[in-house]
């Protein structure tokens, strides 16, 4: 039993460490709807995996990556606002996934686990994948931290200074897609964006620099995972929603503790 709990907590903490700084960019760049779009595409990946008997981990990673790259391409072509493109891709991916699920006769899918996560069901093999992908994302963020800050503050000035704006933006979208793919097991499709946004939003109220906000966001995300897992263990509640409830409570606490400007 202890080994099961330790594996679950390790997987949750690996995701939380990366969700913190990545969530900061989601908040700064107002990309919350982008997170929802990739989460819906992950559900399409699950449906494709079952329908065509493909590897589940592979499809739930490749489909969000494809959607992220498609968004970059559509954004480059112009003509439609970003929120409109996100709305089209989000609802299209979700509808396609539901249509495929409806065609799966005699196949049982644990929709609750997909929608709200099943942290305690993480295996040692899945833990290795989660930690490996989280390490890659964290390394990418550390490498591109300054260019990411520059294009967030002023993309036009960053381009003049020689920053490859489109490449850096694409890397951020790919990193977000990878995080969503591994976080699905932790909090599920419906709550992935909450894990990205809530700790970062709480950290914003406690920080004065981008670096402080990233550290605080990671710390709060880790506390959310630990607190949510403990709540689920003792109160027999779903782990994913419990993590988000704790994150929301920390946000309220951070808001209450913030000194007036």
Would you state the pLDDT for residue 54? Answer: 81
Q: Phi/psi zone of residue 164: left (φ > 0), alpha (ψ -120 to 50 degrees), beta?
A: beta
pLDDT of residue 105: 67
Give the integer Cα–Cα distance in Å for 56 and 182.
11
What is 2-194's CATH number, 1.10.3470.10, 3.60.15.10, 3.30.70.870, 1.10.10.10?
Answer: 1.10.3470.10
Q: How far apart are CA 24 and CA 210, in angstroms?
A: 8
Sign (positive or negative) of CA dihedral 17, 212, 206, 82:
negative
Q: What is the DSSP letter of 31?
A: -
Closest CA to 66 of 28, 38, 36: 38
Specify the pLDDT at position 77: 79
User: What's residue 197's pLDDT?
Assistant: 92
How far apart are alpha carbons 15 and 122 in whole angstroms? Answer: 13
Q: What is the pLDDT along the chain (261 residues), one digit of tens a residue?
A: 567 778 888 888 999 999 999 999 989 988 878 877 887 787 788 888 877 888 777 888 888 888 888 888 887 777 778 778 888 888 888 888 878 877 776 656 666 666 666 777 787 888 888 899 999 999 999 999 999 999 998 888 888 888 898 899 889 988 988 888 888 777 777 678 888 999 999 999 888 899 999 999 999 999 999 999 899 888 888 888 899 999 999 999 998 886 554
Rounded to the nearest 5 degrees, what angle is found at the Cα of 145, between the Cα atoms of 174 and 136? Answer: 45
With H, G, I as helix, E, B as strand and everything else as coil, classify residue 6: helix
Q: What is the per-residue pLDDT for 238?
A: 83
Question: How much is the pTM?
Answer: 0.86
Residues contacting 61, CB < 8 A, separation 6+: 45, 177, 178, 181, 182
Q: Give the dihedral of Cα atoms 151, 194, 71, 15; nearest 10 deg.
A: 80
């Amino acid at each position: 039993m202890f080994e099961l709990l330790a594996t679950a907590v390790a997987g949750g903490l690996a995701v939380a460490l990366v969700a913190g700084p990545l969530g900061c960019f989601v908040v700064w760049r107002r990309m919350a709807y982008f997170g929802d779009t990739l989460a819906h595409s992950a559900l399409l990946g699950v449906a494709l995996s079952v329908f065509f008997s493909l590897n589940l981990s592979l499809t739930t990673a490749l489909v969000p990556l494809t959607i992220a790259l498609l968004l970059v391409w559509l954004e480059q072509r112009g003509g439609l606002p970003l929120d409109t493109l996100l709305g089209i891709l989000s609802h299209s991916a979700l509808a396609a996934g539901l249509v495929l699920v409806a065609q799966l006769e005699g196949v049982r899918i644990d929709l609750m686990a997909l929608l709200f996560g099943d942290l305690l069901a993480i295996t040692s093999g899945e833990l290795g994948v989660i930690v490996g992908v989280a390490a890659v994302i964290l390394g990418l963020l550390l490498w591109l931290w300054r260019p990411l800050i520059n294009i967030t503050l002023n993309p036009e000035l960053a381009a003049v200074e020689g920053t490859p704006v489109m490449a850096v933006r694409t890397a951020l979208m790919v990193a977000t897609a990878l995080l969503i793919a591994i976080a699905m097991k932790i909090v599920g499709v419906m709550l992935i964006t909450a894990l990205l946004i809530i700790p970062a939003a709480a950290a914003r109220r406690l920080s004065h620099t981008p670096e402080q906000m990233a550290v605080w966001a990671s710390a709060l995300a880790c506390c959310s995972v630990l607190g949510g897992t403990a709540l689920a263990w003792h109160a027999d509640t779903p782990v994913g929603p419990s993590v988000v409830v704790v994150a929301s409570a920390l946000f309220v606490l951070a808001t209450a503790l913030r000194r007036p400007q």
